[in-house]
Amino acid sequence: MEKKRAPCKFFMNGLCKKGEECTFSHEGGGMGMTPHTGGGGYQHKPRNDHYNYQPQHSFPIPRYNQRPRMEYPPMQQQYTPAKQLCFKYSTDQYCSNSDCKFVHQYSYNNLINRSKFLTVPSKSLSGMCIYNQSKLFISSADPQGNLYQYNPDMNPNNMQKMMLNFAIGAILPFKLFLICAVSSVALPKAFGLIIFNEKGEQQSILGHENDITDLQIFSEEKNLFLSSSYDMTVNVWNLEGPGWKICQNIVVGVPICSLCCFDDKFAAGDIYGNVYIYILGAGFQPFQKISLNSNPSQKCIVSGLAFDKLQGLLACSAGSGVFIINIENSLFTPFQIPWKSIGKIEITCLAICEIKIGTAIEKLIITGDMKGKIKIRSLKAGIKEIDNLNAHKTAVRKILVLKNKIPNSFFSLGLEDTLSLWDFQNSEDPSIILASQQASEDYANDIEMN
């Protein structure tokens, strides 16, 4: 019995070239086959070229560039990138690039304008104050200890310089005296005060064993002012009598870097994010300690303290955050922190500014950071940010608010060599109030969502 052969796949598709010599079966027909006229079955239809064979049912495949493109519906709202301020214009007051693509204004919401700009001939500025309403003093922390004096119009041609040969830190006007915190590089543990009177006569007093970080007036009526230091103490100075003297030395136990006086109390901030409240009784006694740092083992410098007497709120800058402490009616209850705002850049200084528009008074918190930026926050809106500006090329050393002398304005001192006077744009324009109201609404919405 003859064995049945497997069918030829090429024959079924009309592609077999071997014909009768093919070892597979050509029975059953296939493409390109015709019936045999002499008998049953099919015979192979000869083909000249199997390679040019085209299937009977072929569909053309279009090339990639011939395929129809997808039609997408138009976007309802086009994306507009956030505007970026020109850093050159913000810090130097001019931009030489005529094709500059950045915005030439000082602040993002255009609420603030720089009215005066001054370059101080020093690269290490440390303090600033207005003395006797007619003299603007700026101190430097370089070893030469230069003290620069300008008129309030900030005219560089009227500048006077005094060299004290001490590195000068904080400076403070107190009655008819100008107090400078100094430290000697040549002499060990030579940290104290140099006091000038109206005649320019100076007096030197030693009072600390490390750098003096801050000077604050406690009471002009009682002739008391305070000095804090990295030597873990706060000194209370008394002007009564023939000379200056320390009436109390308060040992806090940690390095102190900022002070704030209010009513019969004062607050001291340390380098670990703690604020200590002392109350005047039989001498200053420790009252309460408030911790602002979630990790007490890490440094978190309390760089600025400011008090709002009307609302009884103490504003603090610690590390990269701003905190509001409610100390009103807190004699028998712990202090509360109703608002806080944590950022990414370390804050170097803080101040509270009052902006009067018509009969309304807007309370703003002004902070400067290590990147030279100044941020404006609304106190009534839960310290929501309403504007910020590129103020200096390096860290902001100090912010000075003189509400009684220069209203609706503040000074900012850069660590590098610049001093700026900032004005709020057109105090009669309610844009600041509108921005604060918007921040208040956002704050209220956040509370409802939480």
> 138 phi and psi, to 5 degrees?
-130, 130
Give me the pLDDT at residue 447, please: 45
Residue 147: how many CA atoms within 13 Å on its side-chain side?
A: 26
DSSP letter string, 303-325: EEEEEETTTTEEEEEETTEEEEE
Q: pLDDT per residue over 303-316, tens digit each? A: 999 998 888 889 99
Give me the pLDDT at residue 386, please: 83
Q: What mean pLDDT, rounded, does the chain reach?
A: 78
Q: pLDDT per residue over 232-290, tens digit each? A: 999 999 877 666 788 899 999 999 999 999 888 899 999 999 999 998 876 788 888 88
> 251 phi and psi, to 5 degrees?
-95, 110
Q: Is 37 left (phi over 0), alpha (psi -120 to 50) or beta?
A: alpha
Inter-residue contact 315 to 365 (CB < 8 Å): yes
CA nearest 422: which of 94, 89, 111? Answer: 111
CA nearest 259: which of 299, 205, 213, 208? Answer: 213
Residue with tokens 């008090």: 307
Inter-residue contact 239 to 175 (CB < 8 Å): yes
- Which helix (H) or strand (E) is 117 found in, with range? strand 112-119
**CB within 8 Å of 55: residues ≥ 6 apart:** none
Q: Looking at residue 6, what DSSP letter applies?
A: P
- Beta bridge partners, 113, equal 423
CA nearest 85: which of 394, 373, 386, 368? Answer: 373
CA nearest 389: which of 434, 423, 354, 417? Answer: 423
Give me the pLDDT at residue 79, please: 34
Instruction: Enter the tokens of residue 34.
Output: 């015709």
Question: Which residues, given as ranges, of the chain have pLDDT below 50?
Answer: 31-45, 47-51, 57, 67, 70, 72-82, 332, 427, 429-430, 443, 447-448, 450
